C-alpha cells in the first residue's frame, strides 16, 4: 500500500510540476528552427523520411559549412503524430526557444491553418511548402505565410495539363471522365475548386470522391470508381490512405498509368506495399526522385559516413526524403537571403520573413548547392508567395521512381484570379487588411 501511495504522490507532484520543468535554454549564437515531425502514428510512413531529409540537410550545412554563413543551425524535433492539437502544443513549446524560432514548417495542412493566425502575432514566418492554405499565396493578405514552390491549385492545373498532353491536347479532354479521390480534410479538399473550374473550362466530367480519414476503408469509393470507369484518376491522399487506394485500384484492374497521385500521394512508401501491381503509377512532384545528385554525394560524405545520418543510408533519395531536403534548402536559402540584409548573425522571425519574401533562387545557385535539375528556380515576391512553379511527373517502375515528363507549367491565368479572391475572403475572416506591396520596397 505504501508503494502505491508513494507512486500516486510522485505522480501527482509530477503532473503539477511537469510542464514547469520546460527549461528555456537561450542559445543566441545559433539560428533555432523548430521541427514539427511525425515519426509515430498512422502517418509515420510519410513523416519519417521527410523529417530525416530535413535534419540531414541541416546537419550537412553544419558539418560542411559550419552552418549558414558561419552561423550554426540548431533545431529541435517535436512529435505531432499529424494531430492538430499536438502540433499547436509543439509550436507553443518551441516558438520561444533558442532566442525565438526563425521559421516554422508545420508539415500538416491542419496545423498550418492553426498557425497562420498566430504567425502575424508571434512574428514567426510559416513556411508550408506545397501544402497549407492555397489562398495564403497572396502575400498582400498573408505576409507571414509562404507556400512556394507551388500550391495545390497550381498542381491540380498542372495535372490537368499533363492529362491533356497525354490525350493529345487540352481540347481532347472534352467528355473525358476524371475522378478526384481525396482525403476528406482541408488538405484533400484544396484542389476541388480548381478542378471544378477546369472541368467547366475544358468540359470534362469531374467526379469528386471523398475518403474519410485516415482512409483504410475505401471499398465503397472504389465501387463507385468501378461503376464510373473514369479515364483518369487523380489522388490526393496521405499516409495509409495512399497504399490502400493503390491496392484497391489494382484489385479493380484500373490501368496504373492513368492513375496520378499528387505530391503527397506518390512516395516510395505508398507504392511498395502494393508490389508489382503498382508499376506504372504516376505521381506529381516539384523535385526529382533518387539519390543521384551532387547534394546526395555530399550528404553521404559529410553526414552518413560520419555516422550522423538521421535514417538509414539506403533510404536516402526516397521521394519524401528528397522533399525534406528541398524544404530544408528553401528554409536555409531564405535565411541566407535575410543575412545579406541583416548580417551574419542569428535572425529574428521578422528578419527571416524578409528573407523569404526576397528569396530569388536561381538555377545558378541551385547548381552551387549541388541541386541542378533536382528542383527548379524560385522567385518569391511581396505579392506572390507561391512562385507558381512548374510540376514534374514521375512514374514507378516497380523498383524506383523515374521522371517521365518535362517541367509542366501551371495555369496561372486560371489559378491566380481565384487565389486572389480566396485570399480576400480568408484574410477578411481573420480581420486582416491588404498591404500595399509598392510601399514595401
What residues make contact with another protein under the rule CB under 8 A?
Answer: 4, 7-8, 11, 14-15, 18-19, 21-23, 37, 39-40, 44, 48, 77-79, 81, 84-85, 88-89, 92-93, 96, 109-110, 113-114, 117-118, 120-121, 133-134, 184-186, 189-190, 192-193, 210, 212-213, 422, 425-426, 429-431
CB of 343 to another protein, least distance (A): 29
CA distances to 32, 58, 235, 360, 387 from 124, rounded to whole Å, are: 11, 19, 32, 20, 21
Closest to another protein by CB, 131 or 401 = 131
Short-list 180, 157, 158, 161, CA closest to 170? 161
Q: How far apart are CA 336 and CA 69, in angstroms?
A: 7
CB of 367 to another protein, least distance (A): 34
Q: How far apart are CA 85 and CA 94, in angstroms?
A: 14
Closest to another protein by CB, 41 or 373 = 41
Closest to another protein by CB, 77 or 298 = 77
Q: How far apart are CA 79 and CA 434, in angstroms?
A: 35
Short-list 41, 74, 56, 40, CA closest to 318? 56
CB of 263 to another protein, least distance (A): 18
Backbone angles phi, psi at 28, to 5 degrees: -70, -5
CB of 397 to another protein, least distance (A): 31
CB of 69 to another protein, least distance (A): 27
For residue 90 the three cell numbers come to 509543439
CB of 428 to another protein, least distance (A): 9
DSSP string, 177-218: EEEEEEESSHHHHTTHHHHHHHHHHHT-EEEEEEE-SS----
Closest to another protein by CB, 77 or 440 = 77
Answer left, alpha or beta for residue 69, where phi above 0 means left and psi between -120 and 50 means alpha. Answer: left
Closest to another protein by CB, 44 or 391 = 44
For residue 269 the three cell numbers come to 512508401
Closest to another protein by CB, 183 or 323 = 183
Closest to another protein by CB, 386 or 426 = 426
CB of 18 to another protein, least distance (A): 3
Decide the pairing of beta strands 392-396 and 145-146: unpaired
Amino acid at each position: 500500500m505504501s508503494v502505491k501511495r508513494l507512486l500516486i504522490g510522485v505522480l501527482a507532484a509530477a503532473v503539477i510540476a511537469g510542464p514547469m520543468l520546460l527549461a528555456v535554454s537561450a542559445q543566441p549564437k545559433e539560428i533555432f528552427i523548430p521541427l514539427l515531425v511525425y515519426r509515430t502514428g498512422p502517418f509515420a510512413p510519410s513523416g519519417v523520411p521527410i523529417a530525416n531529409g530535413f535534419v540531414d540537410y541541416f546537419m550537412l550545412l553544419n558539418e560542411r559549412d559550419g552552418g549558414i554563413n558561419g552561423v550554426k543551425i540548431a533545431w529541435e524535433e517535436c512529435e505531432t503524430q499529424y494531430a492538430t492539437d499536438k502540433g499547436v502544443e509543439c509550436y507553443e513549446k518551441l516558438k520561444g526557444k533558442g532566442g525565438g524560432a526563425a521559421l516554422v514548417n508545420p508539415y500538416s495542412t491542419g496545423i498550418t491553418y492553426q498557425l497562420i493566425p498566430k504567425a502575424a502575432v508571434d512574428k514567426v514566418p510559416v513556411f508550408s511548402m506545397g501544402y497549407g492554405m492555397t489562398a495564403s499565396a497572396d502575400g498582400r493578405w498573408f505576409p507571414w505565410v509562404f507556400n512556394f514552390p507551388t500550391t495545390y491549385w497550381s498542381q491540380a492545373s498542372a495535372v490537368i495539363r499533363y492529362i491533356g498532353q497525354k490525350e493529345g491536347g487540352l481540347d481532347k479532354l472534352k467528355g473525358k471522365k476524371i475522378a478526384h479521390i481525396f482525403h476528406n480534410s482541408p488538405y484533400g479538399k484544396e484542389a476541388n475548386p480548381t478542378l471544378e473550374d477546369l472541368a467547366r473550362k475544358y468540359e470534362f466530367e469531374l467526379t469528386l470522391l471523398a475518403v474519410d480519414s485516415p482512409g483504410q476503408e475505401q471499398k465503397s469509393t472504389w465501387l463507385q470508381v468501378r461503376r464510373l470507369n473514369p479515364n483518369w484518376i487523380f489522388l490526393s491522399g496521405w499516409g495509409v490512405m495512399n497504399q490502400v487506394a493503390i491496392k484497391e485500384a489494382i484489385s479493380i484492374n484500373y490501368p496504373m498509368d492513368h492513375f496520378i497521385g499528387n505530391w503527397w500521394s506518390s512516395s516510395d512508401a505508398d507504392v511498395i506495399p502494393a508490389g508489382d501491381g503498382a508499376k506504372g503509377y504516376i505521381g506529381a512532384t516539384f523535385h526529382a526522385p533518387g539519390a543521384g545528385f551532387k547534394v546526395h554525394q555530399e550528404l553521404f560524405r559529410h553526414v552518413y559516413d560520419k555516422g550522423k545520418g538521421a535514417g538509414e543510408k539506403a533510404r536516402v533519395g526516397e521521394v519524401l526524403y528528397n522533399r525534406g531536403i528541398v524544404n530544408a534548402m528553401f528554409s536555409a536559402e531564405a535565411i541566407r537571403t535575410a543575412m545579406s540584409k541583416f548580417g551574419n548573425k542569428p535572425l529574428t522571425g521578422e528578419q527571416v520573413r524578409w528573407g523569404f519574401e526576397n528569396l530569388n533562387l536561381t538555377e545558378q545557385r541551385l547548381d552551387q548547392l549541388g541541386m541542378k535539375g533536382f528542383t527548379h528556380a524560385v522567385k518569391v515576391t511581396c505579392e506572390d508567395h507561391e512562385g507558381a512553379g512548374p510540376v514534374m511527373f514521375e512514374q514507378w517502375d516497380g523498383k524506383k521512381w523515374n521522371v517521365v515528363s518535362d517541367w509542366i507549367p501551371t495555369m496561372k491565368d486560371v489559378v491566380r484570379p481565384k487565389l486572389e479572391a480566396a485570399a480576400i475572403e480568408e484574410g477578411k475572416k481573420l480581420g486582416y487588411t491588404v498591404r500595399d506591396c509598392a510601399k514595401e520596397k
